[in-house]
Amino acid sequence: MPHPAMSPNHVAVITGGVSGIGLAAALRFAKAGMKVCIADLGAIRLKEAETKLSSAAPGGVADIMTAEVDVSRADEVANFEAAVTKRFGGTDILMNNAGIQPGSTMFGPADNWQRILAVNLWGVINGTQAFAPNMIKRGRPGLIINTGSKQGITTPPGDPAYNVSKAGVKAFTEALQHELRNTDGCKISAHLLIPGFVFTGLTAHGRTEKPAAAWTAEQTVDFMIAHLDAGDFYILCPDNDVPRALDERRILWAAGDIVENRPPLSRWHPDFGDAFAAFVKGK
């Protein structure tokens, strides 16, 4: 059965909603007859997204709201929540999806680190703190979906600031769900979306055609909705290259670094390459 929050005339709010997974989710919710509010940066991009969403929504432009919001700024997010409430009466689904991945190095510019953490982590915190209290007060079933990453779980070398931000999203969302389920009368649940390789503007890196290994944003959203309906907290998405079984072994190996007292990131350590390969094969 579909989650009751995903019902006609209910309200979905999506940050990072002009492209990629955010826009795919917004289109899916709009087609389902929901009122959809997206936040992002860039007036032209927002207008283009509004046109697409209005064409998909049964109620047309009257059911669509867009706002230029920097999610790293708590005041802008709070103003966005107030505007959504004023127009549509409240929020049933909040998808904290805005994210950036410009690349980072361990000793790179501090401004780069701060911007990544401000958008990817503080954007999720700001969105939750602005929207969740009124969502709880409404007493209606609702969803808070935070977009994480496998890089926030297995933390591969190469982009430490992004890994730190997404590891923070994982820890924050776990704590949020614990808080919600222990709040009397609360009908809101939190969920961690963990995409696989998805072909979006964030991952295109100049490519114009989807690599065979990647899923589309639409496939990812379909998978997400099916697992929200099932009540899953961890929505661990496969792709055309990595099945769930491989993800599970990689995640277990990463946790095993602590339990087995191996070097950190031993999966990429030359002394443990053979052991990891055997572990993946179940040996």
Q: Which residues are catalytic?
A: 162
Find out whether 214 and 169 touch, Cβ atoms under 8 Å: no
Dihedral of alpha carbons 53, 149, 132, 4, sign:
positive
Distance CA 13, CA 121 (A): 18
Helix, strand, coil percent values for the chain (each to nearest 5):
50, 15, 35
Q: Which residue has the tokens 């989710």?
A: 25
> Would you tell me the crossing angle of helices 20-31 and 217-229 to the nearest 10 degrees?
60
Dihedral sign for Cα 38, 113, 255, 202, please.
positive
C-beta separation of 152 from 116 below 8 A: no
Assigned token pair, 14: 């999506």
* Residue 235 burial (C-beta neighbours within 10 Å; 0-12, 13-18, 19+): buried
Placement of tokens 């989807």 in the chain? 210
For tokens 């959809």, the residue is: 36
